[in-house]
Structure 1
């Protein structure tokens, strides 16, 4: 099982939000991070989300943390541009 905290956040353009993934039920507790909307927000390998300066209010990006050991285990967080 993978969980991401916080599960949602509102972030201003040009600002960042740190997400934390917790993995249980596997031997390896690492995750890969991806974004559904790279034109709105990016995410690095440590879960740090950056909302792009050109993003407009109310746009959203779904950030996914997926277990590197069991790719069927994943969780998401919704980032909304403030």
Structure 2
């Protein structure tokens, strides 16, 4: 991603018929990348690397997306 860009992550809970499909997104470093807790919309804030983690509400299962942020074009 480049500074200023956004992307939305999608988490799929398995099995698909699990009673609780609720997940929460979090970031390892909000100075580099922010994420909305429910929607999973990631915004690149500054150059660097961050991990976006999604955690299931029921069972505490996690998955991680590693994000590398580079300078915006023309910067």
Q: Count residues in correspondence.
A: 67
Q: Which runs of 5+ in 2 are unaligned?
A: 71-75
Of residues 29, 33, 37, the one that matches 1:41 is 33
State the TM-score, normalized to the length of structure 2: 0.83
Hey, which bits of structure 1, 4+ residues long, moved more than 6 A?
A: none
Alignment partners' CA distance in 1, 2:20 and 2:67: 26
Superposition CA RMSD, Å: 1.0
1:16 aligns with 2:6: yes
State the TM-score, normalized to the length of structure 1: 0.76
Question: Which has more radius of gyration?
Answer: 2
Q: Which runs of 5+ in 1 are unaligned?
A: 1-10
